[in-house]
Structure 1
Amino acid sequence: MFRRTVAFLFLAWLFGFLWFAIALPQPLDGTKTDAIIVLTGSAGRIEHALDVLKEGEASRLLVSGVDREVKPREFAAQFGVSDKLLECCITLGYNAYDTRSNAIEAAQWVSEHKSKSVRLVTADWHMRRAMLEISREMPAGVELKPDAVSSRPSLGALFLEYHKLLARFVLNLWGK
């Protein structure tokens, strides 16, 4: 009986990992939302979120997890953002340092701006855990839509992220 249980758990883990690694989330089509939340990290995330904002698919953008030493003017210069766009539509979030704190920062920002639909931009390999964390913190009635930035994650990165997702899922089951 013990061997069967171990074999079953191993197969469940293996097939879960294969699904996680092969069926990565995809970019969102031209769907409009009230706001965009982009999590800092790998290349292409901020650029994609700014493109979505400039195309008018959302009216506000939170960049969550900005290094405290980055000044708004430096951000604008690095990403080619006009002063007008920065002033009206972009919030630089300096309080987050991991995915969990991104979720808290994002939920507070969404509440303050009374957004009802939000596009979440992060890397494809990070999207599932980010969605889990952020949806847990979002105010009731907010629709969260994943908009994954395609990447080429290493097997090691996928392995680590899969286990972080499993750990977060288990903690959520225990109410933590």
Structure 2
Amino acid sequence: MIKRAFSALFLVWALGFMWFVAALPQPANGERTDAVVVPTGGEGRIAQGLSVLDKGLADKMLVTGVDREVRPAEFAAQFGVSAEQLECCVTLGFAAVDTRSNAAETAQWVEDNEVTTLRLVTTDWHMRRAASELARALPDDVEVVRDAVPSEPSFASLFLEYHKLLASWTAGLIGL
């Protein structure tokens, strides 16, 4: 009986991992949202968020999880953001240190800015966990569009992220 239970559990885990790897989220279409949020940490995320702004698909952007030592002028120079665009449209969030606190920082910013539709830009392998944490932090009436940045993650990165996702889901189920 115990062998069967472990075998069934392993099968569910393995099938889940295959799904996780084979069906990575994709970039969003050209749907317009009030704002875009970009958690730091992955190549191409900030560039994609800025592209959303440049195309007029959102009016403002939060970059959450910015290192406290980064100055706005350094950010602007690194990513080619004009002083005007930084002033009007880009908020650098310094409070977050991980995916869960990215969601909390974003929820506060969404409330402060009266955002009702939000585009989440993050790496394809990170999208499910980031969206899950964000869904728990945001009010139910805020619509989130998932806009994944394609990447070529290593097996080790996918393996680790899958387990982080499982832990995140479990924490959500038990109310942590």
Q: TM-score range by the shorter chain?
A: over 0.9
Q: Percent identity?
A: 57
Partner amino acid for 1:109? W
1:42 corresponding residue in structure 2: 42
Residues 113-145 of structure 1: CA deviation (Å, up to 9, x unaligned)? 010000000100000000010110012300011
2:71 corresponding residue in structure 1: 71
Deviation of 1:51 (Å): 0.5
Deviation of 1:4 (Å): 1.2
Tell me, what secondary structure is at the counterpart of 1:42? Answer: coil
1:6 corresponding residue in structure 2: 6
Q: Is 1:105 equivalent to 2:73 in the alignment?
A: no
1:165 corresponding residue in structure 2: 165
Partner amino acid for 1:131? A
Unaligned runs of 5+ in 1: none
Tell me which stretches of 4 or more aligned residues in structure 1 moved more than 2 Å. none
Q: Is 1:59 equivalent to 2:45 in the alignment?
A: no
Tell me, what secondary structure is at the counterpart of 2:30? Answer: coil
Residues 31-72 of structure 1: CA deviation (Å, up to 9, x unaligned)? 100000001011100000000101100001000011111111
Partner amino acid for 2:101? S
Tell me, what secondary structure is at the counterpart of 2:12? Answer: helix
- What is the alpha-carbon distance in structure 1 between the residues aligned to residue 7 and residue 139 of structure 2? 40
Task: State which drifts further: 12-21 or 138-147.
Answer: 138-147
Task: Tell me the number of residue pairs that the alignment of Structure 1 and Structure 2 aligns.
Answer: 176
- What is the alpha-carbon distance in structure 2 between the residues aligned to residue 156 and residue 31 of structure 1? 33
1:120 corresponding residue in structure 2: 120
Deviation of 1:146 (Å): 0.7
- What is the alpha-carbon distance in structure 1 between the residues aligned to residue 83 and residue 175 of structure 2? 43
Unaligned runs of 5+ in 2: none
1:131 corresponding residue in structure 2: 131
TM-score under structure 2 normalisation? 0.98
- What is the alpha-carbon distance in structure 2 between the residues aligned to residue 173 and residue 139 of structure 1? 18
Partner amino acid for 1:94? F
Q: Is 1:26 equivalent to 2:26 in the alignment?
A: yes
Tell me, what secondary structure is at the counterpart of 1:122? Answer: strand
Tell me, what secondary structure is at the counterpart of 1:104? Answer: helix
- What is the alpha-carbon distance in structure 1 between the residues aligned to residue 165 and residue 48 of structure 2? 24
Residues 137-169 of structure 1: CA deviation (Å, up to 9, x unaligned)? 012300011100000000000000000110111
- What is the alpha-carbon distance in structure 1 between the residues aligned to residue 88 and residue 56 of structure 2? 13
- What is the alpha-carbon distance in structure 1 between the residues aligned to residue 147 and residue 122 of structure 2? 7
Q: What is the root-mean-square deviation of aligned Cα atoms in Å?
A: 0.6
